[in-house]
Amino acid sequence: MTQKNETLPLILSLLITCGLIGGGLWLFRDRLFRGGSSNPAQTSSPQPGNAPLDSTALKARQSIGDRLLVPASANANSQAQAQKQRGVEAIAAQNYPQAVTDLQAALQAQPNDPEGLIYLNNARIGAAKAYTLAITAPVDTDVDASLEMLRGIAQAQNEINPKGGISGVPLKVLIVNDGGTPEMARQTASALVDAGDVLGVVGHYASDASLAAGEVYNQSGLVMISPVSTSVKLSNLGRYTFRTVPSDFVAAGALANYLLKELQQQKAAVFFNSQSGYSQSIKSEFDRAMSLGGGQVVSEFDLSASTFSAAESFRQATQQGATVLALMPNSGQLDRALQVVQVNRQQLKMLAGDDVYAPKTLAVGGAAAQGLVVAVPWHILANPQSVFANSSRSLWRASVNWRTAMSYDATAALIAALSRNPTRQGVQQALADPNFSAEGATGTVRFLPSGDRNQSVQLVEIKPGSASGYGYDFVPIQ
């Protein structure tokens, strides 16, 4: 009898334990069977974009100058950061004269800070009437790219307000950290739609983020102009979606044409990230352009695969007859693409999409990256004496890149649209008008009915140089 009494609780205990284990496996089944990914937008670890945020949390990802969003870099001027913090606190307290004093001092010590310049110009407006534009940037996942975008809108704001603003009304800029993920972009887009004073959006960065946010903007009637997203899926997404950067159709065509006609090669191996909408887009467009031009993509390698090996992929590419390597990663898989560059050691010619245009490529790629050709929308050395090139160098004490120029163009277009009709619907109608035009950093900005901009790309090549500080520079191919 005693043995039976002890056995029954033991069996019940085992059943409960098994149930708990089974429930745990069910709850975590996605993590167990989905597999890993080095794409920041696909990680299973807790991210701001993976769960709905309440209004307070979303508000904390926005700033008109009442909070800092961009983390200080390792080499930031500590005194400038302290002064900037005091300026932000003054704006939060609505002490705008003090904020102007503090932010001016911060910018004197650290002039290459677009966040500080935007907050300074907002502080100069204070509580006066203003037209507000938002810029969405992936501060969580790519600080450098965020700063490049911010410089474009900051420069445009810094130029228009001293001239009297837009028909006498100054321009205010709201900075938004969209996390760099589609879900977070969707949430921040909804928050901007609810903010009735926001009349237009410059952003988003990643194509996946722009596609997710674009659906929200089109449903609610708020214009988005992306300066960076190149996926062909963004074309004809909706009446409120535009972009100042050429699509992957243009960039991929230019790369394929260069490979076939200039390099006189016909066979390429493509390296891409299957988890990135941008990477998939430019790969598909490159495949199509190669086929139409008489070339062939002999092999494709997924950089996001858990089994990916740069050495093994390179070996297979050469065995299959590839004479050119086409690198089409998104920024999240740039490290693996650079592994391919190192393995190649200049044995085969290399081409790349615009996400490879980054300081890391020069720093990590080094001599192995010499000769790599990248398609970008614009390069400052191709138009060294343009008004924008000179004014940007004067303002930022350095040369800017294509992301800054495209963000400037997006802002210039929104400013021109606001001057016609400063309402959300009015902005859309102005941009969609076949007669609309605005003067930007890269020339006249006009939009096709698809929302795209009809503009070519610039091919640049990595060559030895001192401008970047890494011993190599991106140099335009004439």
143-194: pLDDT as tens digits: 999 999 999 999 999 999 999 999 999 999 999 999 999 999 999 999 999 9
Q: Which CATH architecture has domain 50-246+388-445?
A: 3-Layer(aba) Sandwich (3.40)
What distance in Å separates the CA atoms of residue 6 and residue 155, rounded to the nearest whole number?
78
Cβ-contact 142, 205 below 8 angstroms: yes
Instruction: Measure the CA–CA gap between 403 and 151, rounded to whole angstroms.
Output: 9
If DSSP states are collapsed to H, E and C, what string results for 387-428? HHHHHHHHHHCCCCCHHHHHHHHHHHHHHHHHHHCCCHHHHH
Q: What is the pLDDT of residue 73?
A: 85
Q: What is the pLDDT of residues 387-437, one digit of tens each?
A: 999 999 999 999 999 999 999 999 999 999 999 999 999 999 999 999 999
Q: What is the mean pLDDT of the chain?
A: 90
Buried b (16+ CB within 10 A) or exposed e, 27-64: eeeeeeeeeebbbbbbeeeebbbeeebeeeebeebbbb
Q: What is the pLDDT of residue 74?
A: 75
Nearest to 202 by CA among 401, 448, 410: 410
What residues contact residue 45 under an 8 Å CB cut-off, 6+ apart?
Answer: none
For residue 395, what pLDDT is reported?
98
Cβ atoms of residues 331 and 279 within 8 Å: no
| pLDDT (tens digit per residue) in 318-327 | 999 999 999 9
Using CA atoms, how far residue 204 sits from 122, 130, 176, 308, 453, in Å, is: 22, 23, 10, 29, 16
φ/ψ of 241, rounded to 5, equals -115, 125
Q: How confident is the model at residue 452 (pLDDT cuts 50, 70, 90)?
A: very high
Q: Is the pLDDT of residue 18 over 70?
A: no
Task: Determine the pLDDT at residue 343.
Answer: 98
pLDDT value, residue 50: 58
pLDDT digits (tens, 9 = 90+) for 52-64: 899 999 999 999 9
Identify which has the larger pLDDT, 355 or 385.
355
pLDDT band (50, 70, 90) for residue 76 = confident
Q: Does domain 249-376+458-476 have CATH number 3.40.50.970?
A: no
- Strands of 154-216, DSSP E: 171-177, 198-202
Instruction: Render 323-334 in DSSP notation, one character per residue.
Output: -EEEEE--GGGH
β-bridge mates for residue 445, sequence order: 438
Confidence of residue 34 (pLDDT cuts 50, 70, 90): very low
Residue 242 in this model has a pLDDT that exceeds 70 = yes
Q: Where are the domains of the chain?
A: 50-246+388-445, 249-376+458-476
